[in-house]
Amino acid sequence: MLLPFDTHVHTCYSPCARDLDGAGQPLASPERYLSRATELGLRAIVFTDHCVEDPSAPGAVPFYESSGLGVISALRGELAGFLLTDLCQVYLGCETETMSTEWVGITPRAAANLDFVLVPTTHYHLPGVPQPASFAPADVAEHMLIMLASVVSKGWLDSVAHPFCEAESLIGDLRRIYDALDKAWLTDILGFAAHNGVALEVNGSSVTSVYEPHYALVYREIVQLAKSLGVRFTFGSDAHDARNLGLTPEAETWIISAGLTMQDFLTPAQLQAKRGGM
């Protein structure tokens, strides 16, 4: 496996990862992930449950109602009960939300207590998330760049979750959106990302998803530009079920096709070290 780690993993502490097996047990329990990580030979995983610091704040996205910082402490408490081995390091981060260009769900203070903060900018399917003026390609393209620019300007955020990705049944053909992207502006934004140390995620689910059939093609172009500008990357499966942990052969093939090597990716240890320096 090209990358022996996974930095985007949802446990059953995320509201969207609560499916049960035939015996009524959660498919996304931390315990199941740890055992799957050992089977796969992963060296590190980062749990990134959905979390915003103040879900009851006016204007907060309703999906996060039960996803305050308590989620992180509950997961931390559960992990403390496990006998963790040196074989696979376990880190605690979160996938937060962009409520506006000025408001991201995790402040620098809360981020200091996390190993990793992953920020999505394109959860357009969630009511209350900032939306483009319309789903015409030019409007989506402009909005995606506005939101991306707002996140890469905030240096306490570590990586942008599944950049430019959303179901094409909602936002339209990603090739048309890519055509409408202002490439000079995109280049500027990626340059800022490199300068501020905000990474872009390669999301294993997104690059192989049937819901975004053109994402693999479009995001490859963006990744190549980003790499040429010095942007670093994180890799995450976005698993919501322990069976989907880690890098699949299909996602690995995509990474190689995009010209990325292991050195382009930040490891969980590097992410944690960056946090320690804040």
- Tell me how many degrees the CA angle 188-193-195 measures, rounded to the nearest 5: 90
> Shortest distance, CB of residue 23 to Zn ion, whole angstroms?
26
| CA pair distance 70, 108, nearest whole angstrom | 17
How far apart, in whole angstroms, are the C-alpha atoms of residue 228 and residue 187?
10
Minimum separation from the CB atom of position 162 to Zn ion (A): 6
User: Of 161 and 222, which has the nearer Cβ to Zn ion?
Assistant: 161
Smallest separation, CB 85 to Zn ion (Å) = 26
Least distance between Zn ion and beta carbon 123 (Å): 6
Cβ-based neighbour number of residue 21 at 10 Å: 13
State the CB neighbour count (10 A cutoff) for residue 219. Answer: 25
| CB-nearer residue toward Zn ion: 105 or 277 | 105
Cβ proximity to Zn ion, 23 vs 210, nearer residue = 210
Smallest Cα–Cα separation from 143: which of 119, 128, 122? 122
**Minimum distance, C-beta of residue 48 to Zn ion, in the bound complex (Å):** 6
Q: Which is nearer to Zn ion, 95 or 158 (CB)?
A: 95
Give 268's Cβ-side CA count (13 Å radius). 24
Cβ of residue 203: shortest distance to Zn ion, in angstroms?
8
List CB contacts of 202: < 8 A, sequence separation 6 or more: 223, 233, 234, 235, 236, 251, 254, 255, 258, 260, 265
Residues, the chain: 278
Q: Which is nearer to Zn ion, 89 or 122 (CB)?
A: 122
**Nearer residue to Zn ion within complex by CB, 93 or 172:** 93
- Residue in the shown chain whose Cβ atom is closest to Zn ion: 120
Give burial (CB, 10 Å; 0-12/13-18/19+) of 277: exposed
Report in angstroms how near the CB of residue 156 gets to Zn ion at its nearest.
19
**44-50 and 116-120 beta bridge pairing:** unpaired
DSSP per residue over 11-58, as a string? -TTSTT---B-TTS-BTT-HHHHHHHHHHHT-SEEEEEEE--S-TTST
Minimum CB distance to Zn ion, residue 183 (Å): 25
Collapse the DSSP code of 116 into the 3-class scheme (helix H, G, I; strand E, B; otherwise coil) and give the result.
strand
Cα–Cα dist 254/233, whole Å: 14
Q: By C-beta, is 168 or 238 nearer to Zn ion?
A: 238
Give whichever of 34 and 129 is closer to Zn ion, judged by the CB atom. Answer: 129
Q: Which residues bind Zn ion (CB under 5 A)?
A: 95, 120, 161, 238
